[in-house]
């Protein structure tokens, strides 16, 4: 019988914000806003909370996108106006790319090796090519409504829906 209840709680730094799970469910990635780090939990461990890796990233990490295989994640570094490609094995930032002002949410489009970055203060979406993780490229910047915070892909990835918090759209 299913229960609608919390089954476990783990410590998650000083201010957990964004999170994502690897496609194979092996790892959980959590952005720790106040400690400027990415927390990585090994979900297959007997006690996943004890199997944590802490990787330093830029200021005020917000959104997280786990890339296929669970060995790499992208983190929105909100106060640095950049995104960081993080390598879990080496515990370091593999690449960094400037985007719009105050990136917050990320949406990964795996079939097209794209990453959509929602920039809440510049009111736009940065479209990145992440086919080469050592050299991500900015493909486009698309103006949207005021304070974009959420996004979803539809119609086979041909349409991107964006919520604009301060435009009520």
pLDDT at 12 over 90: yes
Q: What is the DSSP string of 115-140?
A: EEEEETTTTEEEEEE-SSTTS-EEEE
pLDDT of residue 1: 67
Q: What are the pLDDT digits (tens) for 72-93?
A: 999 999 999 999 999 999 999 9
Q: Locate 45 and state its tokens.
A: 């461990």
CA distance 69 to 78: 25
Rounded mean pLDDT, 160-167: 96
Cα–Cα dist 125/84, whole Å: 16
- For residue 37, how far is the Cα from the chain centroid? 12
Q: Which residues contact 9 (CB under 8 A, 6 or more apart)?
A: none
CB 103 within 8 A of CB 76: yes
pTM for the structure as a whole: 0.94
Given a cut of 90, is residue 101 above it in pLDDT?
yes
Q: What does the pLDDT read at residue 62? A: 98
The residue-averaged pLDDT of 22-37 equals 96
pLDDT class for 7, splitting at 50, 70, 90?
Answer: confident
């Amino acid at each position: 019988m299913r229960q609608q209840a919390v089954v476990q709680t783990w410590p998650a730094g000083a201010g957990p914000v964004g999170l994502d799970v690897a496609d194979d469910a092996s790892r959980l990635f959590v952005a720790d806003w106040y400690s400027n780090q990415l927390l990585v939990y090994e979900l297959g461990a007997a006690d996943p909370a004890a199997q944590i890796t802490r990787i330093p990233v830029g200021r005020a990490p917000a959104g997280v996108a786990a890339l296929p295989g669970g060995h790499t994640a992208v983190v929105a570094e909100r106060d640095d106006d950049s995104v960081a490609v993080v390598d879990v094995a080496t515990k370091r930032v593999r690449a960094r790319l400037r985007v719009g002002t105050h990136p917050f949410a990320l949406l990964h489009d795996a079939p097209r090796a794209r990453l959509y970055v929602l920039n809440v203060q510049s009111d736009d979406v940065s479209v990145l090519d992440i086919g080469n993780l050592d050299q991500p490229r900015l493909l486009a910047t698309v103006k949207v409504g005021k304070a974009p915070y959420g996004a979803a892909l539809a119609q086979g990835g041909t349409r991107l829906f964006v919520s604009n918090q301060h435009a009520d759209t």
